[in-house]
Chain A
Amino acid sequence: MNRMNEHGGICVFSEANDLILELLGKARELADKLHVKLTAVQFGKNAQEKANELVRYGADKVYALDNPALEIFQDEAYLNVLHDIAVRDSPEILMIGSTRNGKPLAARLATRLDAGCVPDCIAVELDGSGRLIGERITYGGNALARVAFKSKPQIVTVPARAFEKRAPQERKGEIVKLDVKVEPSRVEVVERKPLETSSERVEEAEVIVSCGRGLEKKDDIALLKQVADVVGGQVGCSRPLVEDRKWFSEWIGLSGHKVKPKLYIASGVSGVIQHVAGIRDAKIIVAINKDPEAPIFEIADYGVVGDLYQVLPALKDALKKQLQ
């Protein structure tokens, strides 16, 4: 049995159901190396039930705040609870899901704890002395930075799909019910509605056929769709098609969706670094572009120098034939 320190463990939190499981996957690995306890925090109704799930995915201990008032993210209430837990347990590592709500939460928690924070880590590791090192993309996708902590606690935020979940298993874990008085946040949510986007989520696609400025008119999206349909993929685009032409509502790139499909077909995409930063984890990248000098060819596995209006229909036919 491993030695387990009560103090100096790892604490993970995300309000996003899948992301917290991914955090647990990585944190379990770190906790085993450091021989420390892994704690997770779960808010909302049915927190108890979800806590059991978190144990199956790797947590040794879960704080369950079974409170309907905490069902939906509350910036200040969540912050107060996490701060109390951090003060009580003094974790050496806090790992927080890097969502639009999670990141500000991590930043404020770091400030309250007078701690450092490395946001959006796509990889984390321990150095020889057990110090945490986070890896993150900076300079608009131009650089991968390795950042180490000089003080504790070490707070990192982690985006979705950076780490893998573990396979769930029956394990023993301690579930601690916490009851807190919920003060209303000074920021009041008056309305919440689902984003008006397609039901298909491009991050989850195994194949993405995307287009950039090379696409001449909106109707031509059908060309991409036809290729995507043959291989069960989805259509995406680079930023100019959202910002300038308004043909799509979301883009793939550093400031938009980061994707990691098995296959990414970039047609009429020049390949500026901001776009490339969003696709760098694709297994295979195909570039189709009229301009042989387009930077996209530098980061592609397979390139076709040609007009997407000819290449895409031909590719659709070839795929259909060969997949028969």
Chain B
Amino acid sequence: MKRIIVCLKQAVDVSQLKIDPATRQLITAGAPRKISDFDKNALEEAIKIKEKLGGIEIFTLTVDSEDAKAVLREALAMGADKAYFVNDPAVQAVDTSGTAYILAQAVRKIGEFDLILGGESSLDSFSGLVGSRLSELLGLPQVSSVRKLSVDGDTIIAERALEESSEVVKTKIPAVVTVTREINQPRIPSLMMIMKASKKEIIKWTLADTDTQKEKIAPKIEVLEALAPKMERKKIIIKGDTVQEIAEKLAKALIQEGVIGR
């Protein structure tokens, strides 16, 4: 194994999102962004493989309409060798089919690789389609939901968690692998690593640089609205002088609701 490409999305940090209470609209403009969680696991896994086998280059690949330099610097500080960044305003409108297409074009332009790693899904849109779409566009085998990964020559062995079973699979490289959070704990780069990373290269491409034709990334779906869900709950706080009194009241309310008992 000589080269691993890790697909990294710069995602909205969903834990810091604010909601306009009047309209229930999410305020995504200006919301903090970070490396999407599972993608960070994918990068960590690539670094672990590199540490174990040696002689491997790790390239990250990011597609975004906005600036992502801070996020890419963090990836480089963690241990990636080079960051490829397809940065183009036209990316703003794309859906998963467009994102996968641009990634595939960029991967082709990068040229040689043995393994593509990415997160199972992104933190913000949580679609979980891009890795599979990318494997199909590149004609590669895909292994999803991977929680344990090892490399043996030109074969990768992966453990996948399914709903009611787990399985161990193997496939020949090159392949596309998407990982879950359980696979590892991403490292926090040291100050030394952060300083070293400032010398590493970020290669910026436009869509034209990747030979992406605009009609190929026309969205096939459109988000009509994304609103904070209404949680219409009763919000009754049960009070009483003693905990027994409160418990009695609560038990009575639950029986009246018809959610327990016969």
Contact = CB atoms under 8 A, between A and B. Distances in A.
A25 to B, nearest CB: 20
B65 interface: no
Contact of B160 (A100, A107, A118): A100
B225 to A, nearest CB: 5
Pick the most buried of A110, A207, A273: most chain B CB atoms within 10 A of its CB: A110
Given A104-B132, A116-B97, A150-B221, A143 B246 contact: no
Given A143-B26, A303-B237, A101 B162 contact: yes
Nearest to A254: B126
Interface stretch (B2-10, B41-49, B83-91, B226-234): B226-234
Interface string A57-71: 000000000000000
B190 interface: no
Contacts of B144: 100, 103-104
B135 interface: yes
A108 B136 contact: yes
Interface string A146-174: 11111100000000100000000000000
A295 to B, nearest CB: 11
Nearest to A203: B163
Interface string A101-134: 1011111101110111111100000000000010
Interface stretch (A30-38, A40-48, A86-94, A280-288): A280-288
Contact of B223 (A147, A300, A310): A147
B179 to A, nearest CB: 13
B247 A318 contact: yes
A286 B233 CA distance: 10
A145 interface: yes
Contact of A192 (B96, B124, B167, B244): B167
Contacts of B161: 100, 195
Contacts of A160: 163
Given A147-B223, A147-B224, A317-B247, A119 B129 contact: yes
Contacts of A188: 169-171
B195 interface: no
Interface size class of B (residues with CB under 8 A): 35 or more
Contacts of B172: 186
B184 interface: no
Given A187-B142, A280-B229, A314 B133 contact: no
Interface of B: 12, 14-15, 17, 19, 26, 28, 95-97, 100, 123-133, 135-137, 141-145, 157, 160-172, 175, 181, 219-229, 231, 233-238, 243-244, 246-248, 250-255, 257-261
Given A137-B229, A139-B26, A301-B233, 10 more contacts: A104-B131, A104-B144, A108-B132, A140-B126, A185-B141, A189-B169, A231-B260, A273-B14, A276-B231, A300-B234
**Which 5 interchain pairs have the tightest Cβ spacing?**
A116-B220, A140-B14, A107-B132, A314-B247, A186-B141
Interface of A: 16, 75-76, 99-101, 103-108, 110-112, 114-120, 133, 137-151, 160, 185-195, 206-207, 231, 254-255, 262-263, 272-273, 276, 280, 283-286, 297-306, 310-311, 314-315, 317-319, 321-323
